[in-house]
Amino acid sequence: MGPIRSPIPLEEMEPAARPVSEAVGLPPACYTDAGFYAFEKAAVFDTEWLCVGRSSQVPEPGDYFTATLLGTEPVIVVRNRDGRINVMSSICQHRAMCITAPAERPKDEWFDPPPECSGSTRNFRCPYHWWTYDLDGRLIGAPEMHQRPGFVRSEISLPQLATEEWQGFVFCSFATDPLPLGPRLGAFDEMLANYCIDEMVTTEPEMLPMPFNWKVFAENFMDAYHSLRLHASLYDFTEADTSNETLLAGTFPPLEPGSIGIGGRGRTGFKDRGMNPTQATLFPPIPTLDEDDRWNVVYLYVAPSLLIGAYSDSVKWLAVQPVSAGESLGRLGYLFPEPTTKLKLFDQLLEQHKRGVELFYDQDMPVAVASQRGMGSRFAPQGPLSGQDFFRSQLAEWLLERYRAADAAGA
């Protein structure tokens, strides 16, 4: 697809990117319009870094897992024989078969999309015609193709995506020469320094199909305005929390041109606060945190796909991908220091920990669905923002920078 222009005039979006005291929401069509989704995908998701998971998911050469990006692009994340992580398309270069799809499936699964999978292998063989690729995507086997005049096996390989690791997360980009990721996240490195999350172990990510636009979820995750209200029945918020919700905006660094991160640190009303109704953490504190860290929470957004919540005992991460204008897909995982995962009752505590988070999602997810429905209404507003809506104005500012660049390229 060549350059395209925004079907929504950019001047209608400009008020959303003003300082929060003057800003309004993005136009509702930015959440619902299929034409705008196509533009946004090209402007943002085809050019920036997308999180696909954690490097600890592929600890040894030959270890791999699969993911589907943007609803249509199946990829393989694999550690090669040199120990480097590759992210490459899983589309066979013969007939466009997904090479990690199963060779056969029961009748009730015939028409389901190829499932995501993981494992360890020496190479990848397409189940259709047995074209075989090595861990770097090079074609190493193609039955009968030696009979085709001019066929040169060494000239064929699986398309490679630009790949970078940051804090133990694996990112890829469809861009040919994307700006490096790490140098744009220096402020986040400082906020996360004592957590040592690059050394943490992740739980197996859970898939969260979400029937709403990706921005709805990102805004909800980082939203300071709703937590005191929507989640009031779950948490006994204190004066410190109330102040924090107002003052946290001051800890979010202003956006710089080209920035890829939005986030900040805030103080809670309790030391070692947990994401469950007891308000106490279920695991030992992360041993590298100092006393002040244990009173804080850190919420970070590596735009456009990775959301991070860091607490005194663990870190929650969500990698969110759009599927369509009104659908998205999340991968949810939890990070712990390796010694924590060796606790005798770790699995039982983890289930309680997850259920504590799910209690928040019992409220967040229905609200997100209802918000998506509301965005399609003729009465949906570009409503004025509260001072605690600071993330929404920063996200709009970040997006508009990319919308302008893409729209100009399509002119």
Which tens digits make up the pLDDT trace of 331-347?
A: 999 999 999 999 999 99
Band of the pLDDT at 242, cuts 50, 70, 90?
low
Q: What is the mean pLDDT of residues 186-197?
A: 93
Q: What residue ranges do the domains of the chain occupy? A: 10-47+181-410, 50-163
What's the mean pLDDT when you consider all of the chain? 92
19 cis-preceded (ω within 30 degrees of 0): no
The residue written with tokens 């699964």 in the block is 109
Instruction: Read off the pLDDT of residues 266-277 as tens digits, 9 standing for 90 and up.
Output: 888 789 988 877
Q: Give the per-residue pLDDT at 234.
A: 81
Q: Residue 288 corresponds to which tokens in the numbers above? A: 């590298």
Q: Give the per-residue pLDDT at 225.
A: 84
CATH of domain 10-47+181-410: 3.90.380.10
Q: Is the pLDDT of residue 18 over 60?
A: yes
Distances (CA, A) of 136 to 80, 161, 257, 410: 6, 11, 35, 34
Distances (CA, A) of 375 to 157, 215, 325, 370: 43, 12, 11, 9
Q: Residue 268 corresponds to which tokens in the numbers above? A: 């809670």
CATH architecture of 50-163: 3-layer Sandwich (2.102)
Q: Residue 221 corresponds to which tokens in the numbers above? A: 């995750």
Helix ranges, 33-96 (H): 34-40
The residues, ordered by sequence, that sit 6+ positions from 336 with a Cβ below 8 Å of its Cβ are 200, 201, 203, 283, 313, 314, 315
Q: Which residue has the higher pLDDT, 62 or 190?
A: 62
Rounded (10°) CA dihedral 155, 137, 103, 68:
-120
Q: What is the mean pLDDT of residues 374-381?
A: 96
Q: Give the per-residue pLDDT at 250.
A: 43
Q: Is the pLDDT of residue 243 over 70?
A: no
Closest to 226 (Cα-Cα) out of 92, 61, 366: 366
Find the range with the poorest average confidence among 145-154, 261-270, 365-374, 378-387: 261-270
Rounded (10°) CA dihedral 344, 348, 353, 356:
-150
Instruction: Read off the pLDDT of residues 75-103 as tens digits, 9 standing for 90 and up.
Output: 999 999 999 999 999 999 999 999 999 99
Identify the sign of the CA torsion 390, 406, 1, 160. negative
Band of the pLDDT at 41, cuts 50, 70, 90?
very high
- Distance CA(374)–CA(380), nearest Å, equals 6
pTM of model > 0.75: yes
Q: What is the mean pLDDT of residues 119-129?
A: 97
Structural Rg of the chain based on CA atoms: 22
